[in-house]
Amino acid sequence: MRDVTGWVAVVTGAASGIGRGMARSFTGAGMKVVLADIEQAPLDATTAELADAGHEVLSVPTDVSSLEAVEALAASAVERFGKVNVLCNNAGVGTAGPVQQTSLEDWRWTLAIDLWGPIYGCKVFLPLIEEAGEGHVNSTASMAGLLAGGSLGAYNVAKHGVVALMASLARDLRIAKSPVTASVLCPGPINTNIVRSERNRPAESLAEHVDTPQGERFWQMLTDSLSHGMNPDEVGPMVLDAVRTDKFWVLTHPDMLSIVVDQVERIGRDQSLRVF
């Protein structure tokens, strides 16, 4: 198990939810944390909470869909703390609706944050983490990155991409004998603000969202489910454990794997698709 005391972690989507839980766990383990988020007020509040508790933190407003913003985040982290050991690509959004009625702008907005955000993060931060001599990269995917249900096409595609990105990265790092390790977080139902992620969507992008009865029904069901979901503060220690122990899969609800196993077995049995 690695001693992470004194390490520097950068967490995107850190103002609330899972990202805030990560920041709390990391600072509790003796790490310095750079908190990045697009939403200023909760970012300030979370940063103040941790600073008031005596932790070394820095807040950097960041739009992870912008390569230039991610580069500026990295520069701010190095300027303040001199190095980066850990990156958590956690910022994410979601939108619902059947694939055949999902607007191109819904695709662009979702993939820009949920998939290109982690790609930009890995591209920008990996050289810095390797320069630090040891570290870890974690990206937040979803159980939707392991099994694609209906009414969530753009999100499913993005999260499947994140799982593939991190699995590829983890293997490439091992082949290169890099001091950096990688993991992927696949949460089940967590009580976060993702169902309200369009609060941060640019107006011109939101105007091109297509509302559908199927999407609305699914979003209401998801909202109800997440309201009874796991406390996001319980997720932070799971990611911290992956950073310390080089565990690749971080699963908040391992019981949900039975659905994934069923789908894999169907491939071998009759090539059918489980619909849910």
- Domain boundaries of the chain, sorted by first residue: 8-269
Is residue 124 a contact partner of residue 81, using CB atoms and an 8 Å limit? Answer: no
Centre a 10 Å sphere on the Cβ of residue 204 and count the other Cβ atoms it contains.
8
The pair of structure tokens assigned to 167 is 């699995």
Q: With contact defined as beta carbons under 8 Å apart, do 79 and 2 qualify? A: no
Backbone angles phi, psi at 114, to 5 degrees: -75, -25
Beta sheet of 135-140, edge-to-edge order:
57-61, 32-37, 8-12, 86-89, 135-140, 180-186, 249-251
Q: Are 46 and 24 in contact (CB under 8 A)?
A: no
Q: Which DSSP letter does residue 57 get?
A: E
Model confidence band, residue 68 (pLDDT cutoffs 50, 70, 90): very high
- Write out pLDDT tens, residues 22-63: 999 999 999 999 999 999 999 999 999 999 999 999 999 999
Query: pLDDT grade, residue 133 (50/70/90)?
Result: very high
- Three-state SS at 243: helix
How would residue 275 be classed by pLDDT, with cut points 50, 70 and 90? confident
C-alpha span between 207 and 205 (Å, rounded): 5
For the purposes of burial, counting CB atoms within 10 Å of the CB of 205, is it exposed (0-12), middle (13-18) or buried (19 or more)?
middle
Q: Which two tokens stand for residue 198?
A: 């369009």
pLDDT 10s digits, 89-122: 999 999 999 999 999 999 999 999 999 999 999 9
CB 209 within 8 A of CB 104: no
Q: State which amino acid sits at residue 212.
A: T
Q: How far is CA 41 from the centre of its chain?
A: 20
155 included as an active-site residue: yes
pTM over 0.85: yes
Smallest Cα–Cα separation from 202: which of 106, 103, 120? 106
Q: Which two tokens stand for residue 149?
A: 């249900």
The CATH number fitting domain 8-269, selected from 3.40.640.10, 3.40.50.720, 3.40.605.10, 1.20.1250.20: 3.40.50.720
Q: Please give the pLDDT value at position 235.
A: 99
Q: Which of 155, 156, 184, 222 is catalytic?
A: 155
Q: What is the pLDDT of residue 163?
A: 99
DSSP 183: E
Confidence label for 276 from pLDDT (cuts 50, 70 and 90): confident
**Alpha-carbon distance 16 to 35, whole Å?**
10
Would the pLDDT of 7 be above 90? yes
How high is the pLDDT of residue 246? 96
